[in-house]
Structure 1
Amino acid sequence: MSGNEAAEEPLYVRDPGAWREQLAEGNRFQARKRVAAKVLIRDEQGRLLLVDPVYKPFWDLPGGMAEVNESPHNAARREVDEEVGLVVEIAELLSVEWVAPHGPWDDLLMFVFDGGVVTSRVARELRPRDPELRAIGWYTLEQAARLLREDVWERARQARRALEDKTILYR
């Protein structure tokens, strides 16, 4: 090519319709990530709210999987409302964790948000609302360490540390 000739540009650079087709084609083949959102909720004594799902052998933090095109923030709020009937003001993001593939599951991104502190009255009145939950309870950090699966305990511990340090953790 001589210096006077323009380089051949891909069609999508100048054609908005072709550009959208190019993006759609790329979107069809890019990885999809599952997203889960958990919430760290405390009572006035500093205990953590834990849930006991019927489909898991261990207790868990409240929250769950995001639905299609749902933000992690909205998933966290929706899940807590569905599980225990608590409408929480989801505050700060505490941590983001990439969870490697395990068992039958592909990888996922796990978000943990600060759900704040509830009054003793609210804490006493909470009950499981979702049939997926066997029970809920308020537990000290020491008790939570025994009830939660090791990786979930580490997630809760790290989120608690992020809350205290006023930071966001990525792991």
Structure 2
Amino acid sequence: MPTLARPDSVLGSRRATLLGASLLTAGLLSPAVLLAGRVSPGVLALAIGGTHGASLLVVWIGTGYVTGQLQTSLSRRPRFLMGIASSAWLVLGALAAVPTYLLARWSLLAPLILLVPLTWGLTSSFLLVDGETDAIGLYTFYGPLVVAALVLLGGVEFVLRHGLATWW
């Protein structure tokens, strides 16, 4: 009877991977909450977004390097891989920058709350997948839809919190 292959964990065990993803998620997103209101919204969004994008990209590249998949991809299609990595940094950065800006500018919490499981899921999938380009490649193309959904969620929260307050 065939069994389904489970992805290997780059950190040695599934438990270590999930713990690592949790710690990285907390480390990446807690500054947004702690610094909102103390730092200009635009500066904070750029800093958190840039760090978020770079950190997740480093996790993906590190996993690919450790498993040997990155060298294989680089030798086969280096320009394509560099394009994917550049696009991924922009998308992963925007993924965190948008909720951070919405929090710092209008105190909107829902997009940042949704960003927590998104970041955790991305981090754990990058650590569990053997450095393949599929995880980040697909997210590069579908990630803008997630960013748009975060903006939409922020708009709904804005209307509910600020719009309803003026009607009552």
Same fold flag (TM > 0.5)? no
| Higher RCO (CA-CA < 8 Å; seq separation 6+) | 2
Structure with a larger share of its residues in strand: 1
Larger Rg: 1
TM-score (norm 2): 0.25
